[in-house]
């Protein structure tokens, strides 16, 4: 196991031990987040036998509401959901309403529903952000197509835009084309005062490609944009719609997230796809991700398992 992953999981084990000792009290509605956890665990762990290492958790934890990490997501078309367009619009409205009631960080929808979300959230005087996806889910569109779709989403009231990078061009060695796409789409988004996230589709990539594509996005950010903008340029794991073989995960995995976190810094990372329970959510936050994209946001904060497929 990589040292980085081992250290992150060591921290998570401390958290789990501390939660058990407290019988879950005080932690029912919050998620523990690691702060320099591994180093404290290594160098400050108690030496006396009558002290549990779990107590060290007091030195390295603070609590944070899981809702602040949640990009509550509904990206199915009517055909994918097996419903009419009218019924799908009603589902979207319920997702928006739930995001407002639960005070999730963001609601993530297809572009055609951005204006609907913006109107409801503004009317509710809510702080929930509106997010949408660009060139979704395949990422095969041209640069101009991406830019045009992004501008329409911005005009409709989107706060955050999640672009699918053309990872196939990247795999074909067309690095300059991909670099130009990342640069110009990021310029448009940040120029409008919005946040950009780049979906790299980890299930379609080898570990080396995950490292290389994450590094490319980081290099573009560091060379073309100001340091104060870095926290608005995310690297995101997955669409949740990629078709894999042999039952392999099509979304965020610990292995992929560790590679992204190691190579994206100082850019933030968003985990998406396959996050269906609180334990997975807390683990990913413990690893260091800043956002969670999931269609199971309500179930997660209520500590329930979900059978949603993305």
Catalytic residues: 162, 236, 270
> What 3-state DSSP class applies to 199?
strand
Tokens of 89: 């619009």
Number of H helices and number of E strands within the chain? 13, 10
Other Cβ atoms less than 10 A from the Cβ of 310: the count is: 24
Task: Using CB atoms within 10 Å of the CB of residue 48, give its burial: 0 to 12 exposed, 13 to 18 middle, 19+ buried.
Answer: exposed
Nearest CA-CA partner of 257 in 5, 3, 1, 12: 5
With H, G, I as helix, E, B as strand and everything else as coil, classify residue 133.
strand
Nearest to 188 by CA among 214, 150, 152: 150
Residues in the chain: 310
Number of neighbouring beta carbons within 10 Å of residue 152? 15
Instruction: Give yes or no for a contact between 136 and 75, defined as CB atoms under 8 angstroms apart.
Output: yes
Cα 307 to Cα 141: distance, rounded to the nearest angstrom: 31
């Amino acid at each position: 196991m990589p040292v980085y992953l081992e250290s992150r999981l060591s921290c998570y084990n401390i958290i789990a031990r501390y939660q058990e000792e407290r019988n879950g009290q005080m932690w029912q509605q919050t998620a523990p987040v690691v702060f320099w956890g591994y180093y404290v665990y290594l160098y400050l762990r108690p030496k006396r036998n009558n002290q549990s290492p779990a107590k060290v958790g007091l030195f390295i934890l603070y609590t944070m509401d899981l809702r602040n990490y949640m990009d509550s997501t509904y990206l199915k078309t009517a055909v994918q959901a097996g419903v009419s367009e009218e019924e799908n619009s009603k589902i979207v409205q319920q997702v928006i309403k739930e995001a407002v009631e639960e005070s999730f960080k963001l609601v993530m929808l297809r572009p055609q529903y951005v204006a609907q979300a913006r109107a409801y959230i503004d009317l509710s005087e809510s702080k929930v952000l509106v997010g949408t996806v660009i060139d979704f889910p395949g990422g095969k569109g041209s640069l101009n197509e991406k830019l045009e779709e992004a501008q329409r989403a911005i005009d409709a009231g989107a706060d955050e835009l999640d672009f699918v990078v053309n990872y196939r061009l990247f795999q074909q060695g067309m690095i300059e084309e991909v670099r130009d796409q990342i640069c110009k789409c990021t310029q448009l988004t940040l120029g409008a005062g919005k946040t950009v996230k780049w979906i790299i589709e980890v299930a379609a990539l080898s570990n080396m490609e995950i490292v290389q594509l994450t590094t490319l996005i980081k290099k573009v950010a560091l060379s073309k944009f100001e340091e104060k903008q870095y926290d608005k340029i995310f690297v995101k794991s997955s669409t949740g719609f990629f078709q894999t073989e042999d039952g392999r995960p099509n979304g965020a995995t610990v292995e992929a997230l560790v590679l992204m976190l190691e190579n994206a810094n100082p850019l933030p990372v968003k985990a998406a796809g396959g996050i269906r329970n609180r334990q997975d959510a807390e683990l990913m936050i413990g690893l260091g991700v800043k956002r969670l994209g999931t269609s199971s946001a309500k179930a997660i904060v209520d500590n329930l398992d979900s059978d949603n497929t993305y």
